[in-house]
């Protein structure tokens, strides 16, 4: 086996200065630190995040999802190019849940969004999703903060709309965009109801050529489908539109709607309220995950779990009682170690 040798690291202030100056090479290296699982890197990552935190937050954070093949990368390329053309700096973070184990990423494929990737105003980074949902939120979330501190005023977070990472991305973003195809029936089922419920906007992509009529029909069907959901706390009524990413039709309309949304939620206070809620929730999610990890990693607990499992199936103890005893055992083991 090849011996793992960590790459040379810069000094903390070199990462911090580089990120704040918008240096893309340093930004990439800082993101690598965020993604690293080495203890020394974790410490460094905390220092970098802490330092750039006051300069983060100045972007509109947009989640984009849809099943593979719906045209996410084609859409993002067109959308991103339009935005860069308007003078925006756009960061694109792609989460590919299927790459969790293999570490190889289809989203990281270099041919994706090639034209956009070559623009000075765009920064594309496949985001390591880690092993848990909390990993997605932490790593992608902190990567987003770094991008904002580096001056990106639009952050797009892309996920494949089949996994669970959508919920994590929804918890990180201000606006959630769902890409769909015409030929509704099937797609309505293919995409989970929960994902549709999170959408602030549904875009029926590939509305070109023979598909235009079908797309208009799908638009009506999705508009009806959205009516069954209760009104969102943001006060925003989700919109449905059609677009052709290959022909750059209807793409600017998406930005117009996002701008309308931002205006509304800035005025009614939801923008800040939601951001605050997300930040606080981020902390609680970390507490929950860490407690869970500590519990299952505890040697005292490990020894008892199997025994209790057997006792539960032979009706010697109730599941509730077993859980209570295990938690008690865990508390004692913490007290012992102090």
Chain residues that interact with ligand GDP, rule: CB under 6 A: 66, 68-74, 205-206, 208, 244-246
Query: In angstroms, rounded to a whole number, what is the distance separating the alpha carbons of residues 271 and 200?
Result: 13
Nearer Cβ to ligand GDP, position 118 or 337? 118
Least distance between ligand GDP and beta carbon 155 (Å) = 18
Alpha-helix residue ranges (DSSP H) falling in 212-269: 212-227, 251-268
Least distance between ligand GDP and beta carbon 32 (Å) = 24
Nearer Cβ to ligand GDP, position 49 or 107? 107
Nearer Cβ to ligand GDP, position 44 or 179? 179
**What does the buried/exposed string (b/e) look like for 298-309 if buried means 16 or more CB atoms within 10 Å of the residue's CB?**
beebeeeeeebe
Torsion of CA 128, 147, 34, 92, to 10 degrees: 10
Give the dihedral sign, CA 304/309/310/314.
Answer: positive
Q: Under a CB-based contact definition with an 8 Å cutoff, are residues 22 and 151 in contact?
A: yes
Nearest to 124 by CA among 98, 157, 97: 157
Q: What is the DSSP letter of 54?
A: G
Closest residue to ligand GDP, judged by C-beta, is 71
Query: In angstroms, rounded to a whole number, what is the distance separating the alpha carbons of residues 103 and 128?
Result: 8
Least distance between ligand GDP and beta carbon 77 (Å) = 8
Least distance between ligand GDP and beta carbon 221 (Å) = 19
Query: In angstroms, rounded to a whole number, what is the distance separating the alpha carbons of residues 301 and 328?
Result: 10
Least distance between ligand GDP and beta carbon 182 (Å) = 11
Nearer Cβ to ligand GDP, position 14 or 109? 109
Least distance between ligand GDP and beta carbon 184 (Å) = 17
Length of the chain: 338
Least distance between ligand GDP and beta carbon 158 (Å) = 8
Nearer Cβ to ligand GDP, position 49 or 196? 196
Nearer Cβ to ligand GDP, position 100 or 244? 244
Nearer Cβ to ligand GDP, position 125 or 206? 206
Nearer Cβ to ligand GDP, position 22 or 190? 190
Helix (H) or strand (E) holding 306: helix 299-313
Nearer Cβ to ligand GDP, position 148 or 158? 158
Sheet holding 154-160, edge to edge: 122-127, 90-95, 154-160, 60-66, 175-180, 201-204, 239-242
Q: In the block, which residue shows the tokens 């694109």?
A: 92
Least distance between ligand GDP and beta carbon 71 (Å) = 3
CA of 100: how far to CAs of 67, 129, 200, 285, in Å? 18, 6, 28, 20
Least distance between ligand GDP and beta carbon 206 (Å) = 4
Q: Under a CB-based contact definition with an 8 Å cutoff, are residues 179 and 75 in contact?
A: yes
């Amino acid at each position: 086996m090849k011996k793992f040798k960590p790459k040379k690291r810069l000094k903390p202030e070199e990462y911090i200065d580089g990120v704040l100056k918008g240096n893309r090479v340093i930004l990439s290296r800082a993101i690598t630190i965020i993604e690293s699982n080495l203890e020394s890197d974790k410490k460094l990552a905390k220092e970098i995040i802490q330092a750039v935190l006051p300069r983060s937050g100045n972007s509109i954070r947009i989640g984009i999802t849809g099943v593979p093949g719906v045209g996410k990368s084609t859409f993002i390329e067109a959308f991103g190019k339009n935005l860069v053309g308007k003078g925006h700096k756009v960061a694109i973070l792609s989460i590919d849940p299927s790459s969790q184990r293999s570490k190889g990423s289809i989203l990281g494929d270099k041919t994706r969004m090639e034209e956009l990737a070559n623009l000075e105003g765009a920064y594309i980074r496949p985001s390591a999703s880690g092993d848990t949902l909390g990993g997605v939120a932490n790593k992608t979330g902190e990567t987003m903060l770094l991008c904002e501190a580096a001056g990106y005023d639009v952050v797009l977070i892309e996920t494949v709309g089949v996994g669970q990472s959508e919920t994590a991305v929804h918890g990180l973003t201000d606006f959630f965009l769902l890409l769909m195809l015409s030929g509704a029936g099937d797609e309505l089922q293919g995409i989970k109801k929960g994902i549709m419920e999170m959408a602030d906007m549904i875009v029926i992509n590939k509305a070109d050529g023979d598909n235009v009529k079908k797309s208009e029909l799908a638009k009506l069907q999705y508009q009806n489908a959205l009516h069954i959901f209760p009104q969102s706390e943001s006060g925003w009524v989700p919109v449905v539109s059609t677009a052709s990413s290959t022909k750059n039709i209807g793409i600017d309309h998406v930005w117009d709607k996002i701008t309308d949304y931002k205006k509304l939620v800035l005025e009614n206070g939801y923008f800040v309220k939601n951001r605050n809620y997300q930040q606080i929730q981020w902390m609680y999610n970390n507490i929950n995950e860490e407690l869970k990890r500590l519990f299952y990693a505890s040697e005292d607990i490990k020894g008892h779990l199997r025994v209790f499992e057997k006792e539960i199936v032979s009706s010697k103890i109730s599941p509730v009682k077993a859980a209570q005893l295990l938690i008690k055992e865990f508390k004692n083991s913490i007290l012992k170690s102090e």
